Structure 1
Amino acid sequence: MASSQPKKDRPNARFHGRVEAEGRKCAEPGCAEAGEFRAPPLEGTGFTGDGPPQFRWLCLDHVRAFNSGYNFFAGMSPDEIHDAQRPLAGWERETRAFNTTGGADRPPRWADFSDPLDAIGARFRDRMKQEAGRQDGKPLSGKDRDALKTLELEVDADRMALRKRYSELVRRYHPDRNGGDRSHEARLQRVIEAYQQLRSSPAFA
């Protein structure tokens, strides 16, 4: 059964660049069709380049007519046309370097930062302190460093300091030392695991 609805003689979404807008008419004088395709403005419109480009909106037929008459080389001299047609045209421009060795994108100097409360400096020193090596040259793994942090020990602590600190923390968190209070059991377990890690570490051998 044939549809009673009149057939719309309008471009559909398959046309590339179509932008539908209710009530926008074609900019071509005398055309009553919808302006759904963008085209550059005509010369002499008064556009100065201050702000977004001012485009014209044309219907499908008029934008096709515009495109068929468009000439990229209009106004160019023969030499300019020859240069624009070369296969490598446009590739001779210097590209921006992304490394810092050539002088481009150099990071700011430390002195350029304003740090009146020493927040940046203190954090940097703490990080360097955590990543510092032992003076005796013994290696520390990532787990060793985490264990030292749990026990609140310095990286150069020796085996005697390790045992002393472990005993102090066990007495502090063990339920028998706190009237049966078991609220510190999780902390005590972390202390025991950290001690076991460091006791078998080459740094405390």
Structure 2
Amino acid sequence: MQAQIAVAYHSGYGHTARQAAAVAAGAAEVADTAVRLVPVAEPDDELWRALAAADAIVFGTPTYMSGSSAVFRAFTEATTGVWGDGMQWKDKIAAGFTNSGTMSGDKLHTLVDLALFAAQHGMIWVGLAEYGGWNTTAGSSEDLNRLGSWLGAMSQSNNDEPPDLAPSASDLRTAAALGHRVATVTHRHLRGAAALTPARS
């Protein structure tokens, strides 16, 4: 059984796009998984079809001024039709990621916002199941989950570095770990749903 994963994201300067690509790459490592990167800056029929067909949607946005970007927020508000028409995304798997210029940048607030958005759609949230890194004298910025986030994947990009240099390799590995987990959980979810569906005689 193939799992369909959509990575729906906005990127203002290219850094969050690199994070999105890492999430997609991690998901694609799981066998029988089809992954699609879906920019949300200009919602059209193709976007809505891609999200409707997905078994899981991973949402991504930069954190600007302690929250998601205005472009991503416009996308979330545009989903009222999907929500109001029978909660079309109900029981899909959901997850999230975000990037900012500073180490904290209030990225947790953005992830909470994404989780609440998914909850309103009746989706099932999957967090990042990796130990926090860079928390001992033996640790370093190269550790997986160096920013210590579990609700979703966080990354940090220096404001004066282009997206070919930032986010860091460790943050991209962390994003890939989230994508891999989402794909794994989605396969389990699909197998469980199939097992509960009565066989037709």
> Smaller-chain TM-score range?
under 0.3
Give the strand-richer structure, 1 or 2.
Answer: 2
Relative contact order (C-alpha < 8 Å, sep 6+): which is higher?
Answer: 2
Instruction: Give the TM-score, by structure 1 length.
Output: 0.19
Q: Which has the larger radius of gyration?
A: 1
